[in-house]
Structure 1
């Protein structure tokens, strides 16, 4: 049941006719409040504490136990962590049943079970290279076991009949990372090392085909888990990354399935059942893959954990990284949290001793990365009028030089043509006359259009001065491509993003590629150069993670550029915030994450504290606060009005307010329990209004 006060189990009797198939984990139909409801059979007991007559199970929908004890424990843990209900988590974890797909999978011959050696016990004294801190009072996370003997070079049998070999040629993909080969050997030996990985840019060759280095290194880590006869989960932000990892696994001949929420009902459920029944041992996908019911989990991988696509938009809003961390703890599995950048959350795993930092030496980083140029105000002032342009003369000259050698990437923070416009005379932001939303221009010959209600402002006039003309306040990818086409006549211009569609790849011939963050297509042979425009727009936003997110976007784009030895250059423009810009110039995401974590420690910001936002109408929020029994050291901030209330209809005509509650992270579970209990009280009393509770949200306002 989705209601918070009904988030517990109920007792039902098992009729004799269903005794054989009514086993723990199966889907059932039960009568609840006069209506047939779907449910899962959790356990069978000989008796009950219920004083009356038990209602019988109405039906066993399928004899397949889709809810395993591990996934049930994970669902309850995630629900407790995010102040949600187990029902909401199970809705994310278990796809709806598709009877035809289930029968098709079960009709296939079963795979002979593997003989999995027991993981070696942890030694008492940590070694110098792989020492593990014990479970501390700040995290409660289990420490990874210590190293045992390395994996031998002999082939190990795979249930599919293929031969898995973890030899020197495979370990070479991790040779640039001190401790990388030992990390793989420990995974193959059945141990559970955990690492926060800063991946190098570039591409590696395997069997005559090039693959992104990060994808091939990830595939080798999965291969190590399979060498140890254990299962693996790889979670990435989007479908393009899924395809990239899938191609790397295919190159290593590692059988796998793709599991994403965007698949059709039949395809998703078929892959889910294959994982559940042991017919596959490697699952890659987006958020939903984090709950894949692999029975012998040995490795979890979260790539680019700072991408907001890994934050679930549905209640209770869990983050994929945290789900995988919980799974690694529960299953005693190895973990790899990687990306070109490093988030404060991943750095905290290192600071707590839960994971080890896995990064290349500075000499290797300098050799593998492009040269990054960040012209300052004094540099641009020397150019005169050309230095004040959005793309100054220095950047144009760099692009012209690079176009002689290959394609040039131009990253633009905003999609569209002119996403924000203002009065041409007084520069007052242009607003819709109907809903007061911001206006935009989609084409040079089109009237302004509201970004909220979609109405065209054909007769718009400035409310401050009466002028009817508008000017650009923000320039999108479409207008940028138009300007570059005029500045570089004869050079093809490709747009990749929301409006023109995301391109999978671009050829290595000279061309300009204008892309929004996350939509940058790889180029054959790499880009000769890249221009990162409007740096201040992303790095100076009044948001907690503005610096972290801007560096992540820049590094991901710069990683597509050739190395400095091959002439690759990156220029960042727009006077971005100095800290992330300098971290980009030095290619030092670890130092930036450490600095960010230290500042958040001083300011009592997440992830150093557990923070929750409560959003709703004034009456509903007031009732929530009355029922909330917070721990003594919890701090309440607000309520304050929500700045952007468009589309938030929970409170009807009431003003939408938001309250922040923060507490020391060691007491974070106490806060989550208190929030869940308050929600349950409001639900049981049927109090009107909705209060949206988010624990550790990605946005605070």
Structure 2
């Protein structure tokens, strides 16, 4: 006689529990205990009841080993679909992580009231798209020859978005890129399939939603965003479980939305760090989308104003297809430098001043700066030594002219400050933030509105009246009709950051700001020369990405190779590296960098080719589990508990030890 068995994935952060456990299904739960539901099960080793997901049902012959029984079925709603579990398992294995960690990101917490409302509501119907809207979508997509055929063939493609704003029928302006992605989603929905659009933040999501408004039924657009309230987020997740297709728009976790008959996954601006998951196992939305497209099919689109080296590598190996636009459009970029007679340290050259003055006669002007605040960095006026707090040694900054310096770490005011090097009591500003730049430009252009847009002063939109909009990178508001001029300041300071990808990042910041300019409006890049400046001036971002790849290849730097970071106790790191050498003996002699001892333990990096990724991840994951098991509580009187210290993160973006 066979007995029903539930195979359960336990919701636990312990790596040794990242597998399916068998539990007997009591008779009273036989109808409710179906694959995908939440259940409560006993954990014998811990002596407590934990939650988990019933992944699949099996049968066991009577007389076999006894199994613990399911304690309860939390909900009858199957929130974990088979496709989602396969994706989560594949993503976790690739990243040497736990499936439970990814499921916490993919599936929101259960909200009882939202679930009851969903169960009581009618089943959503397939949305109807008007023929005029279909024609509009096809017209927008016609600017890329071969795009329609690639979409229907479920291809992987990359697009360079048009760099200019467009006017919606409702009167608001959005980026042309938002209309492009909206057209892709509408075309997919019109063919009866679901589209998932993943964007970095709420500003981008709002533009997509505005492009869809009035063209797609409101109920067919599902917001999938961590910023939502818990009931709203859970209700949106339940909607994606329905058979009726929809358009899912959200941040990085939306890539896991369990849509039926997936027809499109579109990633906007994959170089934005907000698309990288900070929580373990730290899988980028781009990598999760690639794995999902491989498992479920559907088209995969990477779009942006720039091209990351990660996507360009995929283009080079033929895994992603580059689809150029029928008509190449770029911003009108001017490389502004100081003229003869001007000081080399002049922050805004006369050419940029003249362009701003001329543009202010017609509308707003955008000025991009590197940092918020008034004076982000203070130094000694005599010896130029960085001004530090006497209590915590944190850097000092000024909140305004004539104000007492304040520590950015502990918040204490630095009254009667004196330099530790030369005993001077005077400070000077080493850099200018958004507020100080606004003061300077306000004096240079008296009578002109000055608007500050940064983290402390968020601004989403500005009108078409003359104004100087001083914004930090990524915080630029959208101007009605586009900016009449864009001034990009502090470029040389941005490029000095200690970051392997700083050139890519600067090109992305500047390109996104340039895309807010009105067609034909000048974009002045101040004080920057070299390959990054040339790529912006000629609007050849993919060529810059190719050159970066060529430079990194002989140095074996990501993304030409994958990099895993190990950290923890020195003994644990050494053991993991030794096991890795045994499991993957063909690793290069210089594949392992470190270990290097630090305050928090040892740290090492492992460089490996993509073809060896599965074996490296499997070995590292086994080491994490082994370290966790060896750290369990020993028998009484046999010593102290040794906590699990080994941590592994795969696909780190740089080689910083």
Q: Tell me if structure 2 keeps the 8 A contact 1:219–1:252.
A: no
Q: Work out the CA distance in 1 between the residues paired with 2:571 and 2:416.
A: 39
Q: Name the residue aligned to 1:242.
A: 205
Q: Name the residue aligned to 2:31.
A: 20
- SS across alignment from 1:369: coil
User: Structure 1 residues 604, 668: CA separation in 2 closer, same or farther (over 3 Å shift)?
Assistant: same
User: Structure 1 residues 542, 434: CA separation in 2 closer, same or farther (over 3 Å shift)?
Assistant: same
User: Structure 1 residues 253, 495: CA separation in 2 closer, same or farther (over 3 Å shift)?
Assistant: same
1:691 shift after superposition? 3.8
1:509 to 460, 465, 486: 465
Q: Work out the CA distance in 2 between the residues paired with 1:436 and 1:211.
A: 44
1:382 to 2:340 alignment: yes
1:308 shift after superposition? 0.3
Matches within 5 A, 1:309-458: 309-360=274-325, 364-365=327-328, 368-376=329-337, 380-385=338-343, 388-458=345-415
1:67 to 2:80 alignment: yes
User: Structure 1 residues 221, 597: CA separation in 2 closer, same or farther (over 3 Å shift)?
Assistant: same
Q: Tell me if structure 1 keeps the 8 A contact 2:570–2:597.
A: no
Q: Name the residue aligned to 2:158.
A: 196
Cα deviation digits, residues 22-51 of structure 1 (max 9, x gap): 011100001112111000111111117996
1:570 to 490, 506, 523: 523
Q: Name the residue aligned to 1:631.
A: 584
Q: Tell me if structure 2 keeps the 8 A contact 1:92–1:288.
A: yes
Q: Tell me if structure 1 keeps the 8 A contact 2:367–2:489.
A: yes
Q: Name the residue aligned to 2:20.
A: 9
Q: Name the residue aligned to 1:671.
A: 616
Q: Work out the CA distance in 1 between the residues paired with 2:253 and 2:398.
A: 36
Q: Name the residue aligned to 2:266.
A: 301
Q: Tell me if structure 2 keeps the 8 A contact 1:615–1:692.
A: yes
Q: Name the residue aligned to 2:494.
A: 538
Q: Work out the CA distance in 2 between the residues paired with 1:204 and 1:7.
A: 48
Q: Name the residue aligned to 2:645.
A: 690
Cα deviation digits, residues 372-398 of structure 1 (max 9, x gap): 11134xxx251333x531112222111
Q: Tell me if structure 1 keeps the 8 A contact 2:339–2:349.
A: no
Q: Name the residue aligned to 1:144.
A: none
1:601 to 550, 553, 556: 553
Q: Tell me if structure 2 keeps the 8 A contact 1:627–1:681.
A: no
User: Structure 1 residues 656, 447: CA separation in 2 closer, same or farther (over 3 Å shift)?
Assistant: farther
Q: Work out the CA distance in 2 between the residues paired with 1:617 and 1:458.
A: 42
Structure 2 length-normalised TM: 0.91
User: Structure 1 residues 273, 81: CA separation in 2 closer, same or farther (over 3 Å shift)?
Assistant: same
Q: Tell me if structure 2 keeps the 8 A contact 1:76–1:86.
A: yes
User: Structure 1 residues 656, 431: CA separation in 2 closer, same or farther (over 3 Å shift)?
Assistant: farther
Matches within 5 A, 1:100-115: 100-111=113-124
- SS across alignment from 1:446: coil
User: Structure 1 residues 425, 562: CA separation in 2 closer, same or farther (over 3 Å shift)?
Assistant: same
Cα deviation digits, residues 340-363 of structure 1 (max 9, x gap): 0010111122112222112235xx
User: Structure 1 residues 161, 360: CA separation in 2 closer, same or farther (over 3 Å shift)?
Assistant: closer
| Count of matched residue pairs | 626
Cα deviation digits, residues 284-304 of structure 1 (max 9, x gap): 000111111102111000000
1:174 to 125, 141, 145: 141
1:280 shift after superposition? 5.2
Q: Work out the CA distance in 2 between the residues paired with 1:286 and 1:251.
A: 22
Matches within 5 A, 1:454-473: 454-473=411-430
Q: Work out the CA distance in 1 between the residues paired with 2:569 and 2:357.
A: 55
1:445 shift after superposition? 3.7
Q: Name the residue aligned to 2:437.
A: 480
Q: Work out the CA distance in 2 between the residues paired with 1:413 and 1:453.
A: 23
1:3 shift after superposition? 0.8
1:489 to 2:446 alignment: yes
Cα deviation digits, residues 97-139 of structure 1 (max 9, x gap): 0011011112111135xxxxxxxxxxxxxxxxxxxxxxxxxxx
Matches within 5 A, 1:586-625: 586-616=538-568, 618=570, 621-622=573-574, 624-625=576-577
Q: Tell me if structure 2 keeps the 8 A contact 1:639–1:657.
A: yes
Q: Name the residue aligned to 1:44.
A: 57
Q: Tell me if structure 1 keeps the 8 A contact 2:381–2:426.
A: yes
Q: Work out the CA distance in 2 between the residues paired with 1:383 and 1:612.
A: 51
1:573 shift after superposition? 1.3
User: Structure 1 residues 514, 48: CA separation in 2 closer, same or farther (over 3 Å shift)?
Assistant: farther
Q: Tell me if structure 2 keeps the 8 A contact 1:98–1:266.
A: yes
Q: Work out the CA distance in 2 between the residues paired with 1:617 and 1:499.
A: 40
CA RMSD of aligned residues (A): 2.1
User: Structure 1 residues 459, 659: CA separation in 2 closer, same or farther (over 3 Å shift)?
Assistant: farther
Q: Name the residue aligned to 2:148.
A: 184
- SS across alignment from 1:552: helix
Q: Work out the CA distance in 2 between the residues paired with 1:260 and 1:416.
A: 29
Q: Work out the CA distance in 2 between the residues paired with 1:279 and 1:690.
A: 46
User: Structure 1 residues 48, 619: CA separation in 2 closer, same or farther (over 3 Å shift)?
Assistant: farther
Matches within 5 A, 1:639-678: 639-640=595-596, 654-678=599-623
User: Structure 1 residues 689, 474: CA separation in 2 closer, same or farther (over 3 Å shift)?
Assistant: farther
Q: Name the residue aligned to 1:253.
A: 216
Flag structure 2 segments of 5+ consecutive residues without an equivalent.
1-11, 632-641
Q: Tell me if structure 2 keeps the 8 A contact 1:621–1:691.
A: yes
Q: Tell me if structure 2 keeps the 8 A contact 1:639–1:658.
A: yes
